[in-house]
Structure 1
Amino acid sequence: MPVFNRKELLQDLEANVRRGIDVVTALRASNDARLSAPGAGDSWSVVQHLYHLNFYATFYTAALERCLDDTQSSAKETFRSGWLGNYFTNIIGPAEEEQALKVKMKSPANAIPPHSSELEVDAEIEAFLALQNRLLYLLQRARQVDLGAYRVPTSLSKWVSLKLGDSFRFVIAHQERHFQHIERNNIP
């Protein structure tokens, strides 16, 4: 399993979250009707992607925070990914430049967004930005702990958990995947 320098990993993850914040902030400023329009090939609209990301961010920010509240160890310089966390992160992450997605996945029924007409663009954008700022705060807190010593339950089941560092990697890779969808299918 890959081994990461803890400081560099957290900086990279933080940079990815900030890029997502920048994209959504720019979309908010555009106030464009395209945010509710279906993407190419009848894919989700931007607001539907944001709803989906907010659904998962709500679950994972709470789970990550609970985990961080229970930590007592000091940070180690390296983090060794677990096999399951690394696998999940690799399959859910974005594709390489100019390539199709690695693995096509169907979202669980409870994470499928309603039709764009049922969603408020501004509300989804504000929720997304608030959750991302919370995620940045949690990444800052994670600088003080051993990323491999604690486990976070997944949205699949409380019995399936990932190391704290892998949970951050997984959530942020999932977000990057959706931003790739948005860029390819919704914004020319």
Structure 2
Amino acid sequence: MTTLEQLQQTAGKLYQIVNTEFASLDLSLLNFKPAPDSWSILECLEHLNRYSRYYNPALAKAIAANSDGNDMQSITYSWLGKKSLDMVRPQNTKKHKTVKHMNPNNSTLDRKTIQEFLQHQTELINLLGSAKSANLNKKAVPVEFFKLLKMRIGEALEFVVLHQERHLQQALRVKQQVAQQAAA
């Protein structure tokens, strides 16, 4: 299985997690915060939505501009790509500050946040499919918070999926805390 196929499979699983674990929850549970400075389930999803609003169109543009049939399916990593991926890997338990405009803390959110996430996820799954004809090693995706830096298409796709995986694990932990509080 290629890296793109693995990413596409993971993105599909993340779609299912949101659909099965969160979509049917009561709005008060979706907005429950374990602590004032931590995020609710919806805040985790809104954070990902904010990234998707930027990265999905940036990836679509990069893939379209670099899909000449001369595909490069294996991903090689730049120092920026390695650093970015290491930072968002779900196994990396170190907390990182997010840039202010990507921080959804204390936002007023509702079910539209879930619908938007699912819509973005469908777009991402399609982008991963269309990336099969792209040169994944082309530096073509500007980094959101510092657009002068560019990530390779493959790195950026992997970054988006790992970042989602990290924050959906966080949202699942919040759901677990909600259940523990309800049981207490």
TM-score (norm. length: structure 1): 0.85
**In structure 1, what is the equivalent of residue 182 of structure 2?**
none
Secondary structure, aligned partner of 1:21: helix
Partner of 1:44: 39
Report what 1:160 is aligned to. 149
**Equivalent residue letter for 1:66:** K
1:107-146 equivalence runs, <5 A: 107-116=98-107, 118-120=108-110, 122-146=111-135
Deviation at 1:77, TM superposition (A): 4.1
2:52 is aligned with what amino acid?
A: A
Q: How many residues end up aligned between the 2 structures? A: 175
CA RMSD across the alignment: 1.8
Structure 1's consecutive aligned runs of 4 or more residues displaced over 4 angstroms after TM superposition are none
Counterpart mapping for 1:1-188 below 5 A = 8-26=2-20, 27-31=22-26, 33-39=28-34, 42-71=37-66, 72-95=68-91, 101=93, 103-116=94-107, 118-120=108-110, 122-187=111-176, 188=179
8 Å CA contact 1:39, 1:186 repeated in 2: no
Structure 1 unaligned blocks of 5 or more: 1-6
Say which SS state the counterpart of residue 160 (structure 1) adopts: strand
Structure 2 unaligned segments of length 5 or more: list them. 180-184
Question: What is the TM-score with the length of structure 2 in the denominator?
Answer: 0.87
AA aligned to 1:35 is L
Q: Distance in 1 between matches of 2:164 and 2:139?
A: 22
- 1:39 Cα offset (Å): 2.9
What letter is aligned with 2:99? Answer: P
Distance 1:73 1:158 in 2: 27
